[in-house]
């Protein structure tokens, strides 16, 4: 069981945390909402909770709550650039179908 | 496929509910757009990686419009259809625009705001600014991957209502939802995170390409308040280029250059200026179209020397702003530097020496305003948790008031009041049976209507007839967070109401704002005298009218001698009101009120007698 960051994503995350001035890592999760079942959660983490599963990827701590993990297992978070737009993208092998926008998905 | 950004803990948005918000610095020379991404404010670049969009718009014969660097490149080829520095025309009539004659545009003096005739027809400054905003909006939507929820646009702190309204209109035309107009110095302070800093007073020193502004802000309990502003509408980095250009002409002994060579040398001067911000000397080498060769080297010390007058020229408004705020240089807790020209070491040094501390320079002075606006937009769009929320206060630049009898101005909201603000004042009728009242809304520091700027007029009708002074009319002035004024008047017994939203008559330059302030100070004592005279005159007119009416109804109560005495006093006062001095009006006014004292007593007796006639004593309510 693991959730990872691509090297590029890790570089950006540690850069953002540095500029933000605080944070132990990032938190990945899923919530039940959205147009296609589940929605991703991507937040800075100021502290690890007791139940959190903590992965380390290219020097960045990735926190996942145990309820989200089954939906995210094997996911790699990547940082991509599309024209002027740039941001993070979940490459999640569990996803069967996603809505066109990619913000929510089904497993 | 949407790309995700990292949210603050607990602030993940629902899918499809990203509130994309941007901050826009709509500048005279350059404009920028910024947003908060992954909790960090960043300027959004165009395809070539440039953040600054030259504020230049070109209208082409084929109906297309160019904005930015491409338009700027065509400036010399197609000057009439290429509009630069349109911000100077926002909310201005042609008479208010400085140096109209030296501009290449075909001005049309339309009512309200000046318009420019281009190959695509007449364009207003609002439309031209909307092109710039539209271009930034497109860039932002491409960068953020969706439509914008809203934008915060910055304006100079001294912008009046007309200029603010014009900016809002331009944003609307560009399809932007305005979350808020924000004063530029306040945005700069936010970018430096001063709202999290310790409480105190901060100065924002903004030396742009062509304008200089100084603002004094107070931060207390996380709230910014603009205490005072000052500046020079025609002093900026370009003047430093000009000084250096003159030095080149002086040293190189070349013939007076043609227009093209002037431009070439000015560009070289600008380059040298930028080099001198990093190195101790800079070469200035150019081959002119006349065949002459310029080959000079200027040292930083020489550059400092020739630009010293410009640097000290910025310190005069700084002193004035401090004086307006009632503060001294040592009261200032921090100094924020804004504008590309503040990169010059001699400017930083002079400001540092004046305030006795190192100014804040670690953010890019060209971007700092846009970054602050983005941070504010992020809060207003609801992307930050409430505990971090903060409120901003700005001030109104000139007092707002109403015309009262005798052409006097009654100030309702004093200048430098923080906005949003609402102030009410009660007025009354001047004549018996008066059923309508005209309101004249004015802006300015002087005591007489003729010396202030007229903003709007409206009427309140349907006041129930009452004796003079009995009606109570409450007039409320309200200035919203964007600095726009609405005035309402309400008669309290009947509830009749009238109001006006001041979309003020366009046309007041920064220079004029400064002039109005200055003349307010200079004419203070003269104004006081004039005000006192007018007040006595109004009082005299009131007494004359009351006396005339009393004589008409109860003249028979007087014997001949008493009647003659009153008539004489009336004549003396009438004459004094027309031509007299304050002392004369006062004297004759007192004389008339003494002369009529006995008459008033007689009338009172008569009034009581008639009230008592035919009444039984036990029916009287005492």
**Interface predicted TM-score (ipTM):** 0.79
Find, among B139, B132, B106, the residue nearest to B120 by Cα: B106
Lowest-pLDDT choice from B192-201, B314-323, B326-335: B192-201
Q: Is B94 exposed, middle or buried (0-12, 13-18, 19+ CB in 10 A)?
A: middle
Residue of B nearest to A45 (CA): B9
B142 closest CB neighbour out of A35, A41, A83 = A83
In chain B, % of residues over pLDDT 90: 34
Mean pLDDT of B505-533: 62
Q: Is the pLDDT of residue B357 over 70?
A: yes
Please give the residue that has the higher pLDDT: either B279 or B601. Answer: B279
Q: What is the pLDDT of residue B335?
A: 96
| Spatial contact of B184 and B206, defined as CB atoms under 8 Å apart | yes
Element (H, E) at B163: helix B161-173
The residues near B432 (Cβ < 8 Å, ≥ 6 apart) are B465, B466, B467, B468, B549
Instruction: Pick the closest to residue B368 from B229, B132, B184 (CA basis).
Output: B184
Return the minimum-mean-pLDDT range out of B98-112, B125-139, B179-193, B427-441.
Answer: B98-112
Strand boundaries in B397-527, DSSP class E = 400-404, 408-413, 418-419, 421-427, 437-443, 453-460, 473-479, 485-491, 497-502
Coil/strand/helix, residue B445:
coil
Q: What is the three-class DSSP state of B255?
A: coil
- Mean pLDDT (chain B, rounded): 84
Full domain range(s) for residue A22: 4-97
Q: B137-146, B444-453, B519-528: which has the highest mean pLDDT? A: B137-146
Q: Provide the 3-class DSSP secondary structure of residue B74.
A: coil
Quick one: pLDDT at residue B618? 58
* A35 touching B (Cβ < 8 Å): yes
pLDDT at B516: 63
Query: Rounded to an integer, what distance in angstroms lies between the CA atom of residue B349 and that of residue B311?
Result: 10
Indicate whether B530 pLDDT > 80. no
Which pLDDT score is estimated for B185? 93
> What pLDDT was estimated at residue B620?
55
Confidence band for B128, pLDDT divided at 50, 70 and 90: very high
Kindly report whether the peptide bond that precedes residue B420 is cis, defined as omega within 30 degrees of 0. Answer: yes
Interchain contact B145–A (C-beta under 8 A): yes
Least confident of A13-27, B2-16, B266-280: B2-16
> Which range has the top average pLDDT, B317-331, B526-540, B572-586?
B317-331
- What pLDDT is stored for residue A98 in this prediction? 62
Q: Are B499 and B489 in contact (CB under 8 A)?
A: yes
What integer best gives the mean pLDDT of chain A? 82
Q: Determine contact, residues B453/B430, Cβ cutoff 8 Å.
A: no
Among chain B residues, CA nearest to A29: B12
Residues of B in contact with A90 (CB under 8 A): 4
Q: What is the mean pLDDT of residues B346-359?
A: 96
**What is the sign, positive or negative, of the torsion defined by CA atoms of B541, B543, B544, B549?**
positive
Which pLDDT does position B418 carry in this prediction?
Answer: 67
Q: Do A20 and B7 touch (CB under 8 A)?
A: no
Q: Chain A: nearest CA to B13, how far in angstroms?
A: 8
Contact (CB<8Å) B7/A43? yes
Other residues' Cβ atoms within 10 Å of the Cβ of residue B383: 20
Among B241, B217, B485, B226, smallest CA distance to B340 is for B241
A78 within a domain of the structure (yes/no): yes
- Cα-Cα end-to-end distance for chain A: 16
Partners of residue B146 in chain A, C-beta under 8 Å: none
Report yes or no: A40 at the B interface, CB cutoff 8 Å. Answer: yes
Beta bridge partners of residue B229, listed in sequence order: B215
| B4/A42 touch (CB, cutoff 8 Å), yes or no | yes
pLDDT band at B76; cut points 50, 70, 90: confident
Domain membership flag for residue A85: yes
Neighbour count for residue B562 (Cβ, 10 Å) = 15
Whether residue A77 is contained in a domain is answered as: yes
B143: contact with A, CB 8 A cutoff: yes
B12/A85 Cβ within 8 A:
no
Read off the DSSP letter of residue B4: B
Residue A46 and residue B16: Cβ atoms within 8 Å?
no
Which chain A residue lies closest to B7 (C-alpha atoms)? Answer: A43
Please determine, for residue B272, whether its predicted confidence score (pLDDT) is greater than 80: yes
Instruction: Suggest the residue from A87, A90, A104 to mutate for an interface test with chain B (most B CBs closer than 10 A).
Output: A87
pLDDT over threshold 60, residue B622: no
Which residues from chain B sit within 8 angstroms of residue A41, using beta carbons?
7, 12
A4/chain B closest Cα distance in angstroms: 16
User: What is the biggest distance separating any 2 CA atoms in chain A, rounded to whole angstroms?
Assistant: 40
Which residues partner with B116 through β-bridges?
B107, B123
CATH of residue A90's domain is 2.60.300.12
- Residue B440's DSSP bridge partners are B457
Residue B288: pLDDT over 70: yes
Question: A34 pLDDT exceeds 50?
Answer: no
Distance CA B13, CA B421 (A): 34
| Whole-number pLDDT of residue B614 | 64
In a domain, residue A102? The reply is: no
pLDDT at B518: 66
Please report where in the chains the tokens 């280029």 appear, as a residue. B241
CA B261/CA B273 separation, integer angstroms: 18
Report the chain A residue with the minimal C-alpha distance to residue B138: A84
Q: In this complex, is the C-beta atom of B50 within 8 Å of any C-beta atom belonging to chain A? A: no
**In this complex, is the C-beta atom of A20 within 8 Å of any C-beta atom belonging to chain B?**
yes
- In A, minimum Cα distance to B48 occurs at A84
pLDDT of residue B61: 93
SS3 letters across B197-228: CCCEEEEEEEECCCCEEEEEEEEECCEEEEEE
A44 located within any domain? yes
Q: Which residues of B are catalytic?
A: 25, 87, 184, 206
Would you call B142 an interface residue with chain A, using a CB distance cutoff of 8 Å? yes
- The Cα of B8 is separated from the nearest Cα of chain A by a number of Å equal to 5
Number of domains in chain A: 1
Q: Do A35 and B12 touch (CB under 8 A)?
A: no
Is the pLDDT confidence value at B81 over 80?
yes
- The per-residue pLDDT for range B366-424, each reduced to its tens digit, is 999 999 999 989 888 877 654 444 445 466 767 888 888 778 888 888 776 766 677 88
Residue B282 has pLDDT above 80, yes or no: yes
Tell me what pLDDT residue B617 has.
57
From chain A, the residues in CB contact with B143 under 8 A are 84-86
Minimum mean pLDDT range among A72-86, B57-71, B344-358: A72-86
Q: Report yes or no: A27 at the B interface, CB cutoff 8 Å.
A: yes
Residue B356's pLDDT band (boundaries 50, 70, 90)? very high
Cβ–Cβ under 8 Å, residues A44 and A26? yes
> CB-based contacts of B97: which residues, under 8 Å, 6+ apart?
B88, B89, B103, B107, B114, B509
Q: Does B486 touch chain A (CB under 8 A)?
A: no
Q: Residue B327: pLDDT above 80?
A: yes
Instruction: Count the neighbouring beta carbons within 10 Å of the beta carbon of residue B240.
Output: 24
Q: Does B11 touch chain A (CB under 8 A)?
A: yes
Phi, psi of B572, deg, nearest 5 = -65, -45
Residues in chain A closer than 8 A to B147 (CB atoms)? none
Mean pLDDT of B492-512: 65
* Rounded Cα distance, B398 and B379, in Å: 29
pLDDT reported for residue B298: 94
Q: Which residues contact B405 (CB under 8 A, 6 or more apart)?
A: B430, B538
Does A89 contact chain B (CB < 8 Å)? yes
Q: Is B611 left (phi over 0), alpha (psi -120 to 50) or beta?
A: alpha
Q: Which residue do the tokens 């007119």 mark? A: B541
Are A20 and B39 within 8 A, CB to CB? yes
- The DSSP 8-state label assigned to residue B7 in this structure reads B
């Amino acid at each position: 069981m693991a959730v990872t960051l691509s090297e590029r994503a890790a570089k950006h995350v540690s850069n953002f945390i540095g500029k933000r001035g605080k944070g132990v890592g990032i938190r990945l999760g899923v919530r039940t909402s959205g147009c296609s079942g589940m929605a991703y959660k991507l937040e800075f983490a100021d502290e690890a909770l007791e139940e959190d599963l903590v992965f380390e990827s290219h020097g960045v701590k990735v926190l996942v709550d145990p309820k989200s993990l089954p939906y995210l297992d094997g996911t790699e978070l990547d940082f991509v650039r599309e024209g002027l737009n740039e941001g993070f993208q979940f490459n999640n092998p569990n996803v069967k179908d996603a809505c066109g926008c990619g913000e929510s998905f089904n497993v | 496929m949407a790309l995700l950004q990292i949210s603050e803990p607990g602030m993940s948005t629902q899918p499809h509910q990203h509130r994309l918000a941007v901050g826009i610095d709509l500048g005279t020379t350059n404009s920028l757009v910024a947003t908060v991404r992954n909790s960090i404010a960043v300027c959004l670049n165009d395809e070539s990686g440039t953040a600054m969009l030259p504020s230049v718009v070109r209208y082409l014969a084929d109906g297309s419009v160019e904005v930015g660097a491409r338009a700027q490149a065509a400036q010399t080829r197609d000057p009439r259809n290429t509009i630069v520095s349109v911000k100077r025309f926002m909310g201005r009539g042609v008479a208010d625009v400085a140096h109209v004659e030296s501009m290449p545009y075909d001005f049309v003096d339309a009512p309200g705001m000046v318009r420019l005739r281009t190959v695509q027809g007449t364009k207003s400054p609002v439309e031209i600014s909307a092109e710039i905003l539209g271009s930034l909006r497109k860039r932002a939507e491409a960068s953020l991957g969706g439509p914008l929820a809203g934008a915060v646009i910055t304006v100079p702190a001294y912008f009046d209502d007309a200029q603010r309204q014009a900016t809002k209109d331009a944003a609307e035309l560009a399809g932007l939802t305005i979350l808020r107009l924000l004063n530029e110095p306040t945005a700069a302070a936010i970018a430096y995170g001063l709202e999290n800093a310790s409480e105190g007073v901060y100065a924002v020193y903004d030396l742009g390409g062509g304008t200089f502004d100084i603002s004094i802000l107070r931060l207390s309990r996380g709230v910014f308040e603009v205490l005072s502003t000052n500046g020079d509408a025609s002093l900026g980095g370009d003047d430093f280029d000009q000084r250096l250009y003159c030095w080149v002409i002086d040293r190189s002994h070349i013939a007076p250059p043609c227009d093209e060579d002037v431009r070439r040398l000015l560009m070289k001067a600008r380059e040298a200026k930028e080099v001198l911000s990093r190195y101790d000397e800079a070469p200035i080498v150019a081959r002119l179209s006349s065949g002459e060769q310029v080959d000079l080297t200027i040292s930083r010390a020489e550059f400092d020397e020739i630009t010293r007058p410009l640097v000290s020229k910025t310190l005069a408004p700084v002193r004035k702003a401090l004086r307006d705020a009632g503060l001294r240089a040592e009261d200032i807790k921090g100094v924020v530097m804004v504008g590309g020209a503040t990169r010059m070491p001699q400017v930083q040094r002079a400001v540092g020496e004046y305030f006795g501390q190192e100014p804040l320079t670690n953010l890019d002075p060209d971007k700092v305003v846009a970054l602050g606006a983005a941070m504010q937009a992020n809060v207003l769009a609801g992307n930050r948790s409430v505990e971090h929320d903060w409120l901003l206060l700005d001030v109104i630049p000139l007092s707002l008031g109403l015309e009262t009898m005798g052409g006097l101005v009654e100030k309702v909201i004093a200048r430098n009041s923080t906005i949003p603000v609402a102030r009410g004042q009660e007025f009354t009728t001047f004549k018996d049976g008066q059923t309508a009242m005209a309101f004249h809304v004015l802006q300015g520091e002087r005591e007489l209507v003729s010396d202030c700027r007229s903003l709007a007029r409206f009427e309140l009708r349907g006041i129930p007839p009452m004796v003079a002074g009995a009606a109570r009319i409450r007039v409320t002035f309200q200035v919203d967070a964007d600095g726009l004024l609405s005035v309402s008047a309400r008669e309290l017994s009947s509830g009749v109401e009238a109001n006006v939203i001041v979309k003020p008559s366009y046309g007041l330059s920064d220079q004029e704002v400064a002039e109005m302030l200055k003349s307010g100070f200079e004419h203070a004592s003269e104004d006081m005298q004039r005000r006192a005279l007018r007040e006595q005159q109004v009082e005299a007119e009131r007494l004359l009218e009351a006396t005339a009416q009393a004589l008409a109804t109860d003249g028979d109560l007087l014997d001949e001698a008493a009647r003659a005495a009153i008539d004489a006093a009336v004549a003396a006062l009438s004459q004094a009101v027309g031509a007299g001095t304050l002392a004369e009006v006062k004297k004759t006014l007192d004389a008339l009120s003494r002369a009529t004292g006995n008459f008033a007593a007689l009338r009172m007796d008569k009034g009581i007698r008639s009230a008592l006639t035919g009444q039984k004593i036990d029916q009287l309510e005492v």
